[in-house]
Structure 1
Amino acid sequence: MTENILGINALTLEEMAGRLRSHPSIRSKLGIASATKALGLTALSDGRPGDDAAALPCDGGYDLLAGEGFIPAFIEDDPWFAGWCAVMVNLSDIAAMGGRSTAVIDQVWAPSAKAAAPLLQGLCDASAAYGVPLVGGHTNLSAQTLGLAASVFGKAQRLITSFDAAPGDLLIAAIDRRGNYRNFDNFCAALDAPGGRLRGDLMLLPALAEDALVLAGKDISQGGLIGTALMLAECSSVGIDINLSEINPPNGIEVERWLRSFPSFGFLLSVAPENAQAVCTRFATRGIDARAIGRITDGSAVTFRSGADSAVFWDHAQTPYLDLGANHA
């Protein structure tokens, strides 16, 4: 059995796929199916569940709504960072849809004002850095433990969606690698960046949508690059081949960890081959690594390829991931 340039042979490729399939950050997204079924939602429902934000037609464009909640362990580990992330990840969801965020509201639970203080400071600091105002929310200072959720409102003229990846497209990963791990598998490149850079980086996405260079994509979320690729594949009813030799983690980080990491700025974009260079160049001009890491295919399998070897990570036709029922034709 031969090894390729990554030192990964067919056996270890299968083993890596298995470890990623069973990893908690990947499997956590399976809970979406239970919630959407309980609410009677499918991919054809208003707002199109499965996208990074709900898109509602309005005045020739779209109103965008998204929200995030945080598990207690994450909040307790670093309350200030949890507050920061409540803003950051919501803004990323709006950008992933080709939109611009206009306002954030927060929902905070804490045993006391003192306990809530670092969490609230994180919210304020991120709001100032990204230039998107906090405009209210809900506060309860009689809870037994810290709790946090936040919601965002935005606008888009043209959408980037999870439902329009097409066979033959290239899969481009655009990730800011100028950071380090803050906690868990959260790779943060935002905390030392000036606010102007953070705001300008997010504006790349609506510009790409409005220039018709990108029609489909998602922000890289808690499921990491590979979980996000699977969600994109399932929503668009396609397969995806990922070329592991094109995965580009920062120095000292193994490919397997990078595939499951949650970057502070990271997007997977399905791009027509003739537009790929223009898309990558726009990110490169802002110091963001962007490269084709694979291709959209017919079928339903998300597959790792490394040299002559391959391994199926997940086949969403056999085992639905989001399981949103009725899909687009």
Structure 2
Amino acid sequence: MDRTAISGAADLRPDPFALAAGLAAHPSIRGKLDIALATKGLGLSTGSQGAPGDDAAAMPDGAGGWDLFAGEGFMPAFVAHDPWFAGWCGVMVNLSDIAAMGGRATALLDAVWAPDATTAAPLLQGMRDASAAYGVPIVGGHTNLHSTALNLAVSVTGKAQALIRGSGARAGDVLIAAIDHRGSYRNFDNFCAALDAPPARLRGDLALLPELAEAGLVTGGKDISQGGIAGTALMLAEASGCGLRIALDDIPLPDGAGLDRWLRSFPSFGFLLTARPAHVDDICRRFAARDIPAAVIGEAIAGSRVEFASGGLVAPFWDHAARPYLSLKPEHSDA
């Protein structure tokens, strides 16, 4: 494609080639490659129990629903830099993983390593504050106060009546981003819209996801994790065995956020969802009713490429067939 074809006012549009190249090399995106090493070492695939690679493991509960299990470990630099916020995030991100599956969280467990009780205190307080805000109890865990450094891992259980799978996107679906913009950057690329929100709002916002699942309105989806929109879209595409074309010009941005940073940012409330075109208005209306911007930012396509499009240009970001990302090959493929 001729990259000189766009001129005039269109010059203000983002350069999809520069964005694609920069993000493909960014640590926020490439850090997810570690998952492939773990799944290989454990002998896991998409056919293993719980469908590894999804936001939470889903196991039939014997009563027509699903038991959900998820867990998160945190970067030591993040925990050391802002231990209270790391504790809060330990709760928040796990609840997001359960919601992303169409579930409702039931309980949390933590594992904390620290040199002493004083060092651990803000981390524990952050978890306690978030547990109270979201209304999900911390029911146990593991504590070591004789470690050389402060570290955190948190896990969660949940229940679902209907699932949102990270492998459900199909060519012809639209790609919707639903992200709470009522916040600001806290540190690194973490965009937080949760700390000043009333607890009732936090709980009601997460409840949107199981409501969408139970209404059968979405075909697939994931919560936007470290790696942002770009990395999450890649995981969704690979697990689904299709491609995704992201329309950069259609991505809503919060005040003060540049597109490059936003594409790799971790939001406190953010989901990528796929749906049939007929359901878009209903989905976006439900988020809008809670003052959460939701917009179509692209489409699922045949093939294996995640692409960035802007102003008539289409740039390849990642081809998961040529370069596996999580290396969890789907059982089907639109490629």
TM bin (shorter chain): over 0.9
**Which residue matches 2:12?**
7
**Which residue matches 2:190?**
186
TM-score with structure 2 setting the length: 0.96
**Which residue matches 1:160?**
164
**Which residue matches 2:52?**
49
The CA deviation at 1:15 is: 1.7
**Which residue matches 1:30?**
33
The CA deviation at 1:8 is: 3.6
Percent identical residues: 63
Q: What whole-Å deviation, never above 9, does each CA across 1:22-79 have from its counterpart, x for those lacking one? A: 0000000000000000000001100001100000001210000000000110001100
TM-score with structure 1 setting the length: 0.98
Amino acid at match of 1:54: A
Quote the Cα distance in structure 2 between the aligned partners of 1:99 and 1:23: 31
Q: What whole-Å deviation, never above 9, does each CA across 1:113-139 have from its counterpart, x for those lacking one? A: 110000000000000000000001000
**Which residue matches 2:69?**
65
Quote the Cα distance in structure 2 between the aligned partners of 1:81 and 1:6: 39
2:111 to 104, 107, 114: 107
8 Å contact 1:43–1:324 — kept in the other structure? yes
Quote the Cα distance in structure 1 between the aligned partners of 2:200 and 2:221: 24
8 Å contact 2:238–2:330 — kept in the other structure? no
- Alpha carbons of structure 1 residues 295 and 147: separation in structure 2 relative to 1, 3 Å: same
Q: Runs of 5+ in structure 1 lacking a partner?
A: none
The CA deviation at 1:6 is: 6.6
Quote the Cα distance in structure 1 between the aligned partners of 2:278 and 2:102: 20
CA RMSD of aligned residues (A): 1.1
Aligned ranges 1:102-251 → 2 under 5 Å:
102-251=106-255
Q: How many residues align?
A: 327
**Which residue matches 2:304?**
300
Quote the Cα distance in structure 1 between the aligned partners of 2:34 and 2:53: 13
Quote the Cα distance in structure 2 between the aligned partners of 1:52 and 1:65: 9
Amino acid at match of 1:251: D
Q: What whole-Å deviation, never above 9, does each CA across 1:173-212 have from its counterpart, x for those lacking one? A: 0000000000000000000000000000000000000010
Q: Runs of 5+ in structure 2 lacking a partner?
A: none
What SS does the corresponding residue of 2:195 show, helix, strand or coil? coil
What SS does the corresponding residue of 1:258 show, helix, strand or coil? helix
**Which residue matches 1:98?**
102
Quote the Cα distance in structure 1 between the aligned partners of 2:13 and 2:294: 24
What SS does the corresponding residue of 1:302 show, helix, strand or coil? strand
- Alpha carbons of structure 1 residues 288 and 203: separation in structure 2 relative to 1, 3 Å: same
**Which residue matches 1:18?**
21
Amino acid at match of 1:165: A
